[in-house]
Amino acid sequence: MGHLALRGIRKSYGDVPVIHGVDLEVRDGEFLVFVGPSGCGKSTMLRMIAGLESITAGDLLIDGVRANDLRPADRSAAMVFQSYALYPHMTVAENMGFSLRMAGIKKAEREQVVQRTADVLRIMHLLPRLPKQLSGGERQRVAIGRAIVRKPKVFLFDEPLSNLDAALRVTMRIELSRLHKELGTTMIYVTHDQVEAMTMGDRIAVFNKGRVEQLGAPMDLYARPASEFVATFLGAPRINLITRPTQGASAMHMALWLATAGLAPANAHKVGIRPEHLHLRRAAHGVLAQVMLAEHLGDASIIHLRIDGVDELLSAKVAAHEGRVTPGEMVGVTFDVGDALAFSADGQLLGNSMLPP
């Protein structure tokens, strides 16, 4: 089992509160991602679960048992860090077996567990090596192996892939997802990378300034973000936000607002529309825009557009054939109003007049 309940968790450093009351259930066997911008408190939250930071107020329950005052070693939670923290003078096999040795497990049994774990992680060939003889990705696998041998109820990952290059990060993402399926152990994974969050999590908790802003399945959060903050944080390029035009706004700003916010509630302050929901047409169709920059990615293009009187550029993500435009060119922008999200002046998703129920 590996069920966690966080009830009203708060954390202050001295007089400074950094976690303002988090309530969260982590299901047994779930892969839960904590995501959010730098400084929002996700690492602090993870470290409180691990027992590396004290909990100022609230209750942490692991399988129904209050764990606030348990020592890290007694929580059955294994943490994997961004820096691998391997013992440099020990071989991979010794590193992986270290916690078992400390627990007084006999050599033969230790070796068996290490071999089996190395097999799962596909690092059998690395067992005799020293950490300095490993690549970054291999070191990270060993660090994970060292956590697995302890058979914890929950794995805690603190940005484990951020020291790896882009290609290796993709490979390790897939590896970790496979490992999660194979082990079926509860995992909590901290990252500021929304792609990792979207692709790895069964559910995502989006943190903002020491609070959980929204919790849910990745695609639900993407399609139905509770706030402007969540809408902006998930998705790259980021969602386009169009502010309600005030008196004296340009005709094109008015046209853009009416086109996107046609069905929005009367108190809509901003409308968001994702780049993949914008389409480019000839200038006579839709809202008139000028191409400022075209980024061709091969399979798709990101087109940055200026609309007369609108401060921020809009970005459109279109198929390569649709993206054959040149800077300076005038195009028409169209979209399906059903794809637009309306937000109130305080950034909350409004009504659902534009979304299917």
Ligand X SMILES: Nc1ncnc2c1ncn2[C@@H]1O[C@H](COP(=O)(O)OP(=O)(O)OP(=O)(O)O)[C@@H](O)[C@H]1O
Least distance from ligand X to the Cβ atom of residue 147, Å = 19
The number of residues that bind ligand X (CB under 6 A) is 11
Least distance from ligand X to the Cβ atom of residue 293, Å = 30
Question: Using CB under 6 A, which residues numbered 35 to 74 contact ligand X?
Answer: 36, 38-44
Least distance from ligand X to the Cβ atom of residue 11, Å = 8
Least distance from ligand X to the Cβ atom of residue 41, Å = 4
Choose which of 1, 8, 12, 13 interacts with ligand X (CB under 6 A): 13
Quickly list DSSP for 110-150: HHHHHHHHHHHHT-GGGTTS-GGGS-HHHHHHHHHHHHHTT
Question: Using CB under 6 A, which residues numbered 121 to 140 contact ligand X?
Answer: none
The answer to whether residues 342 and 354 touch, using CB atoms and an 8 Å cutoff, is yes
User: Residue 53 has which token pair?
Assistant: 């930071």
Least distance from ligand X to the Cβ atom of residue 230, Å = 15
* Dmax (CA) of the chain: 80
Nearer to ligand X, 195 or 337 (CB): 195
Nearer to ligand X, 82 or 243 (CB): 82
Write the single-letter amino acid at 291.
V
The answer to whether residues 26 and 154 touch, using CB atoms and an 8 Å cutoff, is yes
Least distance from ligand X to the Cβ atom of residue 55, Å = 13
Q: Could you say whether residue 76 binds ligand X (CB under 6 A)? A: no
Nearer to ligand X, 41 or 216 (CB): 41
- What string marks each residue from 17 to 36 as x (binds ligand X by CB under 6 A) or -? -x-----------------x
Least distance from ligand X to the Cβ atom of residue 40, Å = 4
- Our CA dihedral for 230, 233, 234, 237, rounded to 10 degrees, sits at 140
Question: Using CB under 6 A, which residues numbered 300 to 319 contact ligand X?
Answer: none
Q: Could you say whether residue 146 binds ligand X (CB under 6 A)? A: no
Nearer to ligand X, 95 or 227 (CB): 227
Nearest residue to ligand X, scored by beta-carbon proximity = 43
Closest CA to 86 of 121, 123, 130: 130
Least distance from ligand X to the Cβ atom of residue 8, Å = 18
Edge-to-edge, what's the strand order for the sheet holding 240-243? 240-243, 270-273, 341-343
Q: Could you say whether residue 194 binds ligand X (CB under 6 A)? A: no
- Residue 336 to residues 1, 238, 251, 273, Cα–Cα distance (Å): 46, 18, 20, 9
Q: Could you say whether residue 192 binds ligand X (CB under 6 A)? A: yes
> Which residue shows structure tokens 């490979």?
171
Which of left, alpha, beta for 85 (phi over 0: left; psi -120 to 50: alpha)?
left
Enumerate long-range contacts of 132-139, CB under 8 Å, 24 or more apart: 132/88, 134/92, 136/163, 136/164, 136/165, 136/168, 137/164, 137/168, 137/171, 137/172, 139/84, 139/86
Nearer to ligand X, 192 or 317 (CB): 192
Positions in the binding site for ligand X (CB under 6 A): 13, 18, 36, 38-44, 192
